[in-house]
Chains A and B, each alone.
Chain A
C-alpha cells in the first residue's frame, strides 16, 4: 500500500516570495492534516480536512497561509508572502474516518522549507 506522498521534499525561497506544497494521502483516507514542525519543536496542526471540508483551521495564520482540498483527495498548502519564521518542515498526514473508532494518522516524509 502506498503511503502519504509529498512534494517537493525541499524548497528554498526568499522572504516575501510565495510557495506551495502538495500532498497525496493514502487512497480511501477521508481525513487529511497539515502540520508545521519548526526546528526544536513538535509538529503543530495547521489545518484538518474531512473530505473537502475544513474541520479545524484554528492555528492556521490565515493572513498568509491557505490550503485547499478541492476534490477531497490531494491537497495544496500555500504561503504568500513567506516570512523567515515560516522556515520549518511541513508534514501531511491522513487517516480513515470511522465514527466511534480510533483512526491512526499516517505521515508523509515532509517538505523542508527554508526562507532566506
Chain B
C-alpha cells in the first residue's frame, strides 16, 4: 500500500520569500505524484504532477517540484510567494493513475 507524509502541518512565510513544502512517500511500486491546492471553501485544484521523464516538474502559479526517487520525496517549491498563495497544499500518490492517496496537508500562511 502507498502512503504519504507531509512533514509540516503549517508553514508561515513572509511575502516574496521562498518556500518549500516537504512531501515523502512510501510505495513498493512506481507511482505518479501530485500536488493539489485547496483554497478555503473550495475543492482541490491540481498544481502539478509527475508521471515520468524529467524529475523537475513545473506547475501553475510559479510552483515547481522535484521528484527524488532515492529519497522518495517530492518537495514543492516557489521562489517568491504572494499573499494569494495562502491555502492548504496536499501531496498525493497513485499507482498507474488509479486511486489517489493523500497526505494530511500543509497550511501555507503568507504574511505581509
Contacts and interface: CB of A to CB of B under 8 A. Distances in A.
A48 B97 contact: no
A34 interface: no
A44 B43 contact: no
A44 B103 CA distance: 10
6 contacts: A42-B4, A43-B102, A44-B102, A102-B32, A110-B42, A110-B43
* Most A CB within 10 A of own CB, among B32, B100, B103: B100
A42 B99 contact: no
A42 B41 contact: no
Contact of B99 (A40, A48, A108, A110): A48
A91 B99 CA distance: 14
A96 to B, nearest CB: 11
Interface in B26-78: 32, 41-46, 49, 51
B43 A107 contact: yes
A14 interface: no
Contact of B90 (A40, A42, A108, A112): A42
B110 interface: no
Interface of B: 4, 32, 41-46, 49, 51, 90, 92, 97, 99-105
B37 to A, nearest CB: 11
Given A42-B102, A43-B100, A56-B99, 8 more contacts: A40-B104, A41-B104, A42-B90, A42-B92, A45-B99, A104-B46, A109-B42, A112-B41
A17 interface: no
Per CB-CB distance, the 3 closest pairs between chain A and chain B, nearest first, are: A42-B102, A107-B43, A107-B44
Interface string A33-64: 00000001111110010000000100000000
B58 to A, nearest CB: 16
Given A102-B51, A103-B97, A108 B43 contact: yes
A88 interface: no
